[in-house]
Amino acid sequence: ASRVVVASRNYADFASEATFEIKKCDIHRLEEGPSTTAVLTREEGLHYYKTMQTIRRMELKSDQLYKQKIIRGFCHLYDGQEACCVGLEAAIKPTDHVITAYRAHGFTYTRGVSVREILAELTGRKGGCAKGKGGSMHMYTKNFYGGNGIVGAQVPLGAGIALACKYFGRNEVCLTLYGDGAANQGQIFETYNMAALWKLPCIFICENNRYGMGTSVERAAASTDYYKRGDFIPGLRVDGMDVLCVREAAKFAAEYCRAGKGPILMELQTYRYHGHSMSDPGISYRTREEIQEVRSKSDPITSLKDRMVNSNLASVEELKEIDVAVRKEIEEAAQFATTDPEPPLEELGNHVYFNEPPFEVRGPNQWIRYKSVS
């Protein structure tokens, strides 16, 4: 009991909020950009820290399970880019919409899916968020339309979601994400055109992690100013390693769309610590020293931790307690993901459509039939 009293007294000594200077965004076709100061409350800071740390540990556990051959198939990890999904989610409402590419685990978590369901999906178990049938690239939940495996193909889908928001008169926006490697896809430019013509509430977001598969952006794109690629669509270039920069820029973009001005484009300059996928060691086209330099100078979790401790929003000990709790949560989730049964074969045809009457689906040959249930 005395320990609880001491802890509560210590916590009362912390500042309730602090104001930070953040990096100015580069802007395109805008008279002014997002604020260069950001207010961070203690509660927000602790939430962002725990969320980013959870995603980091979840991805490291995924790496371990993949190397043990418990996770199979494609697997694209998000560690290093946590400030992007956490900052974006902090700026929008749960009723807003998100669609992304195949590096989707972080967004799945920030949209409300538990670590347990994500890891179980990765291991192909029935307790996974897609009942074990989606795997790494195909995770979904309410208002989150998943990771998508075809490069750039989620961008027209995102514009379609934004069209639905406008058509039904809902004051909602759709965050439509893609990587620098997809930024040269023709379908993206076609989508820019439609979104601008119809003034869709779509925030196009290029997560520029500097490498499309094993190719640096300089070798793949004649122009690496991805925030200007919309031409007639306004753009922002944002420090994607700073959760507060991302949050403030996303708030600005969401307000722009909600005001009926049409689409806006954001480029988040970020970095992935792992290779493109688990089959890529990630060091044949970049050096270990480069990765280490980014880790030491601009890691999103370390940066937030330093800000919070230096401004008296939290103590080192308190953040260490969060780290311990996160590790425990990840281990328990991994235990579930490796012991939960696989989905039964008779459910193979389920969930083809949402909210439809059951119908038959042909199996591997014409004599095998499965019933699809929503």
Whole-number pLDDT of residue 10: 64
State how far the Cα of 42 lies from the Cα of 11, in Å rounded to an integer: 10
State how far the Cα of 274 lies from the Cα of 280, in Å rounded to an integer: 8
Partners of 235 in the beta sheet? 28, 265
Q: Between helices 82-91 and 300-310, what is the axis angle to 10°?
A: 60
* Amino acid, res. 128: G
Partners of 370 in the beta sheet? 361
Strands of the sheet containing 202-208, edge to edge, are: 26-28, 235-239, 264-269, 202-208, 174-179, 97-99
CA-to-CA dists, residue 144 to 2, 113, 149, 200, 322, angstroms: 45, 10, 15, 18, 27
User: CB burial class (10 A; 0-12, 13-18, 19+) of residue 189?
Assistant: middle
Whole-number pLDDT of residue 117: 98
Two structure tokens written together for 40: 């961070």
Q: How many CB atoms lie within 10 A of CB 288?
A: 9
Look up residue 265 and give its DSSP letter.
E
CB 329 within 8 A of CB 115: yes
State how far the Cα of 136 lies from the Cα of 77, in Å rounded to an integer: 9
State how far the Cα of 255 lies from the Cα of 31, in Å rounded to an integer: 15
Whole-number pLDDT of residue 174: 98
Determine the distance from the C-alpha atom of residue 29 to the mean position of all C-alpha atoms in its chain, rounded to a whole number: 26
State how far the Cα of 204 lies from the Cα of 191, in Å rounded to an integer: 10
CB 236 within 8 A of CB 264: yes
State how far the Cα of 29 lies from the Cα of 231, in Å rounded to an integer: 9
Q: What is the mean pLDDT of each run of 10 residues along the chain (374 residues)?
A: 46 91 98 98 98 98 98 97 98 98 98 98 97 95 96 98 97 98 97 98 98 95 97 98 98 98 98 96 95 97 98 97 98 98 90 90 84 90
**Which residue shows structure tokens 């802007």?**
27
Query: What are the DSSP E strand ranges found in the chain?
Result: 17-21, 26-28, 37-41, 97-99, 174-179, 202-208, 211-212, 215-216, 235-239, 264-269, 359-362, 369-372
Two structure tokens written together for 63: 């790496």
**Which residue shows structure tokens 């996303």?**
250
Whole-number pLDDT of residue 352: 87
Phi, psi of 216 (to 5 degrees): -70, 155
